[in-house]
Chains A and B, each alone.
Chain A
Amino acid sequence: MKPIIEVNNLSKRYSIGRRQSYGSLREEVSDAFSRPFRRIFSSSAGKAEAKEDTVWAIKDVSFNVAEGEIVGIIGRNGAGKSTLLKILSRITEPTEGRVVMRGRVASLLEVGTGFHPELTGRENIFLNGALLGMTGAEIKARFDGIVEFSEIDKFLDTPVKRYSSGMYVRLAFAVAAHLEPEILIVDEVLAVGDAAFQRKCLGKMSEAARGGRTVLFVSHNMGAVQRLCERAIVMHNGNVLKDSFVESAVASYLNISHENIGGRDDLYGIKRDSNEFSNIKFSKCHVLDSEGKVNVSLKYGEPFTVLLEAVSTTTHEDISLVVAADSITGVRVFTTVSEDFGVLYRAVPGEPLRAEVHFDKLVLTPGCYVLSIAIRSGKVGLDTLMNIIGFEVTAQAFGNITPHSGTFGLVSVDSEWRPPKSIVF
């Protein structure tokens, strides 16, 4: 069977020079009518364009999507995700390349686009539905479902300008969620709304996919991407960096996010979030696996070590080091402070301070995590680097431990289950 979405060598060039946006009005109008003729008579028309200041938002992007797949598209801001979605949604035209979409497409690039503040919830359902490509009859048929999903029934006849932002988003998503296209394109809609509603949205999207729809889902929320998608495409500088199972795609995204493979040696030079002057700074941070090798990918249950190096320009006595890990959904999983374990360090100029923190057993469940590190002197922070290294915990078990998926929680705790007979009341 042919893939439902075929993207071949897709590129989009934007002009950042001034010339393109402001020619004279007369030029513009005459150009619009003469360009097609000029193209016929002149072969050099393309050359002049190439000299302008242009930037390729995406370049030679190719991939196929099979019917019923949910594909995550991840990447940093500016990686080309939004441009890709805009081309797939036909909002803007590609400069080169070709896309074939074999099915009715609906795209949701922003929640609530086309809502009019003066219109009531009821009226906006119809307007928004029509904008998204539904017919009046289709909207009527789904009206009750939309209202129920959005939980705004009491305010159906109130102008949406009086809605809270939560209600607004719920209604907007509800309309879009009741579209029944063969291909659904969704951009970062989960950045809004509370946790309960986000879960509901995710549920609705996976329900759509179970019903045979194809979903392209862009998000910065790696937890959501991992929960929803089996496959993910990582965009970087306008190219497809990786197209694979979601776990390895997310791991690869975390690496490009942090430009490192399990460790980095360039920490001294990077910009700190705080502008405080500090005379001691981290220079290196590595994650070492049980064999002492730098590795981004650790097995579940495996002992591992975090190696830190800092460079100081003055002497610091009694400083404490901190390592913390966050899940990719931004949940702090643990923090360990050397001082709590009775270890304080001394830094002197001209000689890098090296320290290691060892963990006997990796209790984090499979998934991706991000490390933050800090140097403290008592309560005073001397250097703090948030989210500088990502690492992945693979589903592969170390030794004879059985790992569980992320749905079991972030941490696996040792627990002892007792047979009923030994319980004494």
Chain B
Amino acid sequence: MRDADSTIIEPKTGWARLNIGELWRFKGLFYFLAWRDVKVKYRQTAIGILWAILQPTLGMLLFTAIFSRLARMPSDNAPYPVFVFLGLLPWNYFATVLGQSTTSLVGGANLITKIYFPRLIIPVSSAMAALLDLFIASSVLGVLMYFYGIRPGASIVLVLPLLILTLMNAIGFGLWLSALNVRYRDVQYAVPFLIQIWMFATPVVYPGTVIGGKWRLVLLLNPMTGVIEAMRASVLGHMAIPWGGLAVSALSGFLVFLSGLLYFKRVERYFADVI
């Protein structure tokens, strides 16, 4: 008998350790759960994965019609469709992850009460699955930029770290919300409103520059502001990278991810009992 295979089960006190080795052993499950979410998402639809393109495109057209044509919203001198699409890409991803991870644990209640595996895999894999939609929707951005004759500069290399930042914020908030929702189902009803309000407190459909006064502070403290403005700056190169906002996003991403992880690990022991 190999001692490495020994498992000791006893009541845990204090902070649960994050068992990296165990997460590594279950790495296949991250993949399979994400793969399941992707497979299932567009099952029994006529146009399938095209929805991943259609949804942000229709959003872009709608916002262009309302904000650009009707409301004459400025867009930092960039073509509004490209401008808003660059906001929608990270925002939609962030909002999808928030919404999906909130209900992910409760939706997986039958797994949680019947099978042991690191519970972290559930919300994290749902965040991974949503990445596919983001990548597919990015192709529309390419088409738009070609159409408007926008050539990305060297700063486009920032997109990957920005994506990681979005991911950290999304997963961090997702861990908090999913764990809270296990005990308080109120969370799943509040989150859709939270997402709506949050979207309008984020420069998705408008440029951050139009907000002044005391609301400017709200905008700056919002971790998605820095990500989205930096995303636009890095792709369009129409303005300087907003390093200040980015620092807020990075700090928030780090803190929310870490505290979310701690909170999740601390309360996961009762998931099976109260879910």
Contact A29 B263 (CB under 8 A): yes
Residues of chain B from 4 to 28 with CB closer than 8 A to chain A in the complex = 5-15, 25-26, 28
Residues of B within 8 Å of A294, CB to CB, are none
Q: Please, how many angstroms separate the alpha-carbon atoms of A259 and B9 in the complex?
A: 34
Q: Is A350 an interface residue (CB 8 A)?
A: no
Evaluate contact between B32 and A127: CB separation under 8 angstroms: yes
Q: Which residues of A have CB within 8 Å of B262?
A: 33
Interface range on chain A: under 10, 10 to 19, 20 to 34, or 35 or more?
A: 35 or more
| Interface of B, helix, strand, loop or mixed by DSSP | helix
How far apart are B179's CB and chain A's nearest CB, in angstroms? 9
The contact of B115 among A32, A91, A96, by CB within 8 Å, is: A91
Chain A residues, CB < 8 A from B112: 91
The closest CB in chain B to the CB of A32 belongs to B266
A211 to chain B, nearest CB (A): 15
Q: Are A101 and B7 in contact (CB under 8 A)?
A: yes
Whether A39 and B14, one on each chain, are in contact in the complex, defined by CB atoms closer than 8 angstroms, is yes
A203 to B50, CA, bound (A): 48
Contact check: which of B9, B11, B26, B273 meets A90 at CB < 8 Å?
A: B9
Using Cβ atoms and an 8 Å threshold, which residues of chain A touch B114? Answer: 91, 109-110, 113-114
A87 touches B9 (CB 8 A): yes
Interface size on B, residues (CB 8 A): 47
- Interface flag for B272 (CB, 8 Å): yes
> Closest residue to A1 on the B side, CB-wise?
B1
Partner of B5, one of A110, A126, A182: A182
Are B11's CB and A103's CB within 8 A?
no
Q: Which of A131-139, A148-156, A236-244, A371-379 contacts B (4 or more CB under 8 A)?
A: A131-139
- Does B269 interact with chain A (Cβ within 8 Å)? yes
Q: Which residues of A contact B269 (CB under 8 A)?
A: 92-93
* Nearest CB of chain A from residue B74's CB, rounded to whole Å: 40
B36 proximity list for chain A (CB < 8 A):
116, 119, 123, 127
The answer to whether A98 and B117 have CB atoms under 8 Å apart is: no
Does B55 belong to the interface (CB within 8 Å)? no
Interface residues of B in 21-57 (CB under 8 A from A): 25-26, 28-29, 31-33, 35-36, 39-40, 43-44
For the complex, give the distance between the alpha carbons of A243 and B15 in Å: 36
Within 8 A of A (CB), among B119-173: none
Beyond A93-B269, A105-B7, whether A113 also contacts B274 by CB under 8 A is no
- By the criterion CB–CB under 8 Å, are B44 and A118 in contact? yes
Q: Which residues of B contact A114 (CB under 8 A)?
A: 110-111, 114-115
Contact of B39 among A25, A119, A131, A132 (CB under 8 A): A119
Which residue of chain B has the shortest Cβ distance to A88 in the bound complex?
B9
Residues of A close to B15: CB separation below 8 A: 36
Judge whether B116 is part of the interface by a CB distance below 8 angstroms. Answer: yes
Contact B32 A130 (CB under 8 A): yes
Q: Which residues of B contact A98 (CB under 8 A)?
A: 8-10
Indicate if the CB atoms of A107 and B9 lie closer than 8 Å. Answer: no
Does residue A359 face the partner (Cβ distance < 8 Å to B)?
Answer: no
A107:B116 contact, CB within 8 angstroms:
yes
List B contacts of A102 (CB < 8 A): 1, 3, 5-6
The 9 closest A-B pairs by CB, nearest first: A130-B32, A99-B9, A113-B114, A90-B116, A98-B10, A101-B7, A92-B272, A36-B14, A118-B43
On A, residues with C-beta under 8 Å from B are 1-2, 4, 14, 21-22, 25, 28-29, 32-33, 36, 39, 67, 86-105, 107, 109-110, 113-114, 116, 118-119, 123, 126-127, 130-136, 159, 182
Name 25 interchain pairs, CB-CB below 8 A, sorted by A: A25-B186, A28-B184, A36-B15, A67-B1, A88-B9, A91-B113, A93-B12, A93-B270, A94-B11, A99-B10, A102-B6, A103-B6, A104-B5, A107-B116, A110-B110, A113-B115, A114-B111, A116-B40, A123-B36, A126-B32, A127-B35, A130-B29, A135-B28, A136-B32, A182-B5
